[in-house]
Amino acid sequence: MNFVEHAPTLILGLPLLFAFLIPLLGRISKDMRDILFLMGLLLTGLFVGIMAYEVLTVGGWTYVFGASTSEPTNPITSYFRITFVADGFSVLATLTIALVALGAGLFSFDYMAGHAALDKFYSLFLLTLAGVNGMVLTGDLFNLFVWFEVTSIASCGLIAFTNYRGKSVEAALKYMILSVLGGLFLLISIGLLYGQYGVVNYKLLSDGIAGSPGLFVNKLALGILLLVFGMKASTVPMHMWAPDAYSESPGPATPLIAITSLGSLFVLFRLTFGVYGVNMGPGVIGTILIILGVLSMFIGVSMALVQSDLKRLIAYLSVSQVGYMTMAVGVALTTWTAEGINGYGIMAMEGGLFHMINDGVYKALLFLAAIAVIHATGKRDLNELGGLAHKMPYTTVFFLLGALSIAGIPPLSGFSSKLLIYQSVYLYHPILAIIALVVSIVTLAVICKAFFNAFLGPDQGQTKGEVPKGMLIAMGLLTVVLIIFTLFPHYVVAEIVVPAIRALGVIP
């Protein structure tokens, strides 16, 4: 069996398999359950690595289910089958997801140690992972809908896992209502497109749309798709579920829910570039994305400034970070012509996509450090916390690294991606660059507030000591990745981000 060729389906299949094995075999012993969970995560990560290596060295391929070979030998039949796309863009998305999932998974061993029904938690965790991977890997709208719903249900289960807290259930209910509505509208737009063109495959759809770009059906479906994935990616003004869900979900689930929203953003970009081609007015889509991005950046960071709950504060910051990527890719879309995106558009695209993988990593690190604080002290209100640096030096360093990165302080990786965004966006319109800079400064202020309150000041004896080793290892892993991104940003951009842009077919 050729594992490399089947890597895209194994990335999905392995988390699914282990998600159902864990409640079954986890009955044997607790160690068995933990080992299975770790194995599921590591194997998924391994196959993401294998797929990344193959795609980046040899080239991408389309995986077709049910065909005798995974090459699309007969285009007519193979396009009606289920297809997965293994290209540079999938590699970027799955790498981000796998890194964050690995960090959060390692973190959960010590964090969730006292909980009952842990096998269900692990199961939901892996189901969410499978759902997000499916969303970014799939090559047709039908599958997209299925994985969208898998992600929604599993992540809402994760949020409501601590169901002895009323707030968790409330956050889950709100997120679920929005997700279900989003899924229904997604179904309507799939129906519209299928009714017009008779296909659900991205490639055939984009051919069909290129043939008749002016149809009303296209516009309707486009608007709905933008909205649904914009909602899942928590862009303002559909962001209101995000602070609730992020702040009330149990510890290690928070980065995973953040990564579902990043995954939706990946899908949004794949749809706008891959399905709606250059003929469908990329300038208009770009303008919409820029407006959504600027709103997200500004309102997200403003709301973060007035929060006093540590996790809620970081949640609003993450809403504002999503704005950066949306704005950058929107700017890139406005420069898209038949020859591809050109000039500053390429830089904007590089900045936006590099910011996505960056943001996934440092946001997860920041969330995990905040969760470690909450775990150690039992408090989450910034008015009550203080002086933790005396007892928790490692967590302090991890939080500081993540915090400086999210604020875009020069040597850290957040700066390198933000610099690309500033430069390119300035060439589109200087006002946007000024807004981005102001938002970055306010982000620094917000981060100062959180760091100063929680960690600095005299020791108030709020914690007995450092958090358990397992949590430190998880945060250390993400920190190592962050430092690699910090030291070699040009390498990451050239080796991972540029193939992703190339896979979208917008640069040669």
Which residues, numbered 332-391, are part of the site for other proteins (CB under 8 A)? 381-387
Give the binding-site size for other proteins (rule: CB under 8 A). Answer: 86
**Least distance to other proteins from the beta carbon of 29, Å?**
30
Distances (CA, A) of 409 to 62, 290, 419, 453: 40, 24, 10, 20
Is residue 433 a contact point for other proteins (CB under 8 A)? no
Is residue 174 a contact point for other proteins (CB under 8 A)? yes
Which residues, numbered 295-324, are part of the site for other proteins (CB under 8 A)? 299, 302-303, 305-309, 312
Question: Would you state the structure tokens that stand for residue 98, as one six-digit string?
Answer: 């796998």
Is residue 5 a contact point for other proteins (CB under 8 A)? no
Closest residue by Cα to residue 482 from 396, 368, 360: 360
Which residues, numbered 57-86, are part of the site for other proteins (CB under 8 A)? none
Spatial separation of the C-alpha atoms in residues 342 and 355, rounded to whole Å: 19
Is residue 284 a contact point for other proteins (CB under 8 A)? yes
- 194 or 394: CB nearest other proteins: 194
Is residue 293 a contact point for other proteins (CB under 8 A)? no
Helix (H, G, I), strand (E, B) or coil at 63: strand
**Least distance to other proteins from the beta carbon of 368, Å?**
21
Spatial separation of the C-alpha atoms in residues 55 and 296, rounded to whole Å: 33
Which residues, numbered 190-219, are part of the site for other proteins (CB under 8 A)? 190-191, 194-195, 198, 200, 216, 219
**Least distance to other proteins from the beta carbon of 267, Å?**
17
- 109 or 148: CB nearest other proteins: 148
- What sign does the dihedral 200-205-208-214 (CA atoms) show? positive
Which residues 6+ apart lie within 8 Å of 148 measured at CB?
131, 135, 182, 183, 186, 232
Question: Would you state the structure tokens that stand for residue 70, as one six-digit string?
Answer: 């995974």
Which residues 6+ apart lie within 8 Å of 352 measured at CB?
324, 325, 326, 327, 328, 329, 332, 421
- 339 or 381: CB nearest other proteins: 381
Which residues, numbered 398-417, are part of the site for other proteins (CB under 8 A)? 411
**Least distance to other proteins from the beta carbon of 82, Å?**
11
**Least distance to other proteins from the beta carbon of 17, Å?**
20
Q: Which long-range contacts (CB under 8 A, 24 or more apart) does 209-215 make?
A: 209/275, 209/276, 209/277, 209/279, 209/280, 210/277, 210/279, 213/277, 213/279, 213/280, 213/281
Which residues, numbered 114-173, are part of the site for other proteins (CB under 8 A)? 142, 145-146, 149, 152-153, 156-157, 160, 163, 165-167, 169-173
Instruction: Note the Cα 193 to chain centre separation in Å.
Output: 26
Which residues, numbered 6-35, are part of the site for other proteins (CB under 8 A)? none
**Least distance to other proteins from the beta carbon of 71, Å?**
23
**Least distance to other proteins from the beta carbon of 73, Å?**
18
